[in-house]
Amino acid sequence: MLQLQAIRESKNEFITALKKRNIDAAPLLDKAIALDDKRRETQTKLDKTLAESNSLSKEIGMLFKTGKAQEATVLKEKTGVLKDESKVLNDTLTSVAEELQALLYQIPNIPHDSVPAGNTDEDNEEIFAEGDVPELVSNALPHWELAKKYDIIDFELGVKVTGAGFPVYKGKGARLQRALISYFLDKNAEAGYTEIQVPHLVNEASGYGTGQLPDKEGQMYHVGEDDLYLIPTAEVPVTNLFRGEIVKEEQFPICYTAYTPCFRREAGSYGAHVRGLNRLHQFDKVEIVRVEHPSKSFEALDGMVEHVKNILRELKLPYRVLRLCGGDLGFTSVLTYDFEVFSTAQDRWLEISSVSNFEAYQSNRLKLRYKDENGKSQFAHTLNGSSLALPRVLAGILENYQVEDGIEIPEVLIPYCGFSKID
């Protein structure tokens, strides 16, 4: 959430920057300032009315003590009027504050200067690519056919139990999935991230804290009776651990990693491009989350990018890194890098990770602060990244490692899964 003081001081710059998101932000920012003006004006009137009422109450007490009951009665009538005025002002203040808060929730984060302008993912900027695309056998298959051939993932069983987008992993497929989770967690731990386990459902406050609500409400599964949401990513519960906290400056950087299943409705996702593991409603992901000093957050972002690169190098998967354009940038992000693995059998790139810096946008929603060297409260910066999302990584391994008589396992994963080939 943008800070009101920043909106006031940098309104024109924000309007220009938000054009990268293809948003005309002028009406929203003008309305936010107008509502804040009204809130301040109402607060001033309320404070003045309450002060006058308190002063009169003291005077009434003195009049009664000195036997001037008639004068005290007159003033009591005036305090009654002030009390009514205070109630009206307090109701107005509450209403204006709620309207202002709801409006601020609708304004996305300001893109970083390096974010390119653009409308769709086709306008994203490739900044790095590495790895050789393997030469596959002539009868190479996409992963959903390989899964059926070697009986390692059953998509039909998932439909029977739940519905489309909920696959059942079997045998070596399940063991490979578990191996990837363990491998990712170990790599993150080696890089200094503390492993934690978090709830898979969150309350509404948590959804608002990290920006999934109200922006992505339609993409989240909602448990209506309990008013809870199934998490779309571990970012939500992990980052919300710090909601309302004041951390010590010497605690930076705070680094966590967590494995969770993730749940996304993905309404309207149909077609060949979402077959098999390409788009799921439930999938596994290992996440990395950082809480950083503002002066270090972009250095930390670069480090997270290098960390994911190293994992993909060890898996020996061809990949590229994209800097997202304004039109494809997430609502809460200042700057996002997407990682994509090349699927040789599908002849297309598959997104497998996003690494983002939110600066103080989430922290303002969360009220996540630290005390600076002068003892003043400041908002921390938050970052998160997939390290990694499993479905498309698994798809890339199955397709790029297929040979005539089976599917070879990346060397780095063999100690984790206990076998070197699926056949």
Domain of 85, CATH number, reads 1.10.287.40
Domain that holds residue 45: 4-105
- CB neighbours of residue 83 within 10 Å: 13
How many independent structural domains does the chain possess? 2
Q: Are residues 97 and 139 in the same domain?
A: no
Alpha-carbon torsion (313, 317, 321, 325), positive or negative: negative
Q: Are residues 215 and 304 in the same domain?
A: yes
Q: Are residues 98 and 216 in the same domain?
A: no
Q: Are residues 176 and 74 in the same domain?
A: no
Q: Are residues 224 and 83 in the same domain?
A: no
Q: Is 352 annotated as a binding-site member? A: yes
3-state DSSP percent of the chain in helix, strand and coil, to 5? 50, 20, 30
For 35-70, what is each residue's pLDDT tens digit?
999 999 999 999 999 999 888 888 888 877 787 777
Q: Are residues 93 and 130 in the same domain?
A: no
Q: Is 354 annotated as a binding-site member? A: yes
* Assigned domain for 111 exists: no
Q: Is 265 annotated as a binding-site member? A: yes
- Given pLDDT bands bounded at 50, 70 and 90, which one contains residue 137? confident
DSSP for 32-95? HHHHHHHHHHHHHHHHHHHHHHHHHHHHHHHHHHTT-HHHHHHHHHHHHHHHHHHHHHHHHHHH
Q: Are residues 62 and 190 in the same domain?
A: no
Distance CA 247, CA 368 (A): 8
Q: Are residues 162 and 294 in the same domain?
A: yes
Question: Is residue 165 a contact partner of residue 279, using CB atoms and an 8 Å limit?
Answer: yes
Q: Are residues 129 and 265 in the same domain?
A: yes
Distance CA 146, CA 402 (A): 9
For 157-197, what is each residue's pLDDT tens digit?
999 999 999 999 999 999 999 999 999 999 999 999 999 99
Give yes or no for residue 273 having a pLDDT over 70.
no
Percent with pLDDT over 90 in the chain: 87
pTM: 0.93
Q: Is 245 annotated as a binding-site member? A: no
Q: Is 287 annotated as a binding-site member? A: yes
* Assigned domain for 158 exists: yes
* Assigned domain for 115 exists: no
Q: Is 408 annotated as a binding-site member? A: no
* Assigned domain for 334 exists: yes
Q: Are residues 69 and 185 in the same domain?
A: no
Q: Is 233 annotated as a binding-site member? A: yes
Distance CA 45, CA 37 (A): 12
Q: Is 320 annotated as a binding-site member? A: no
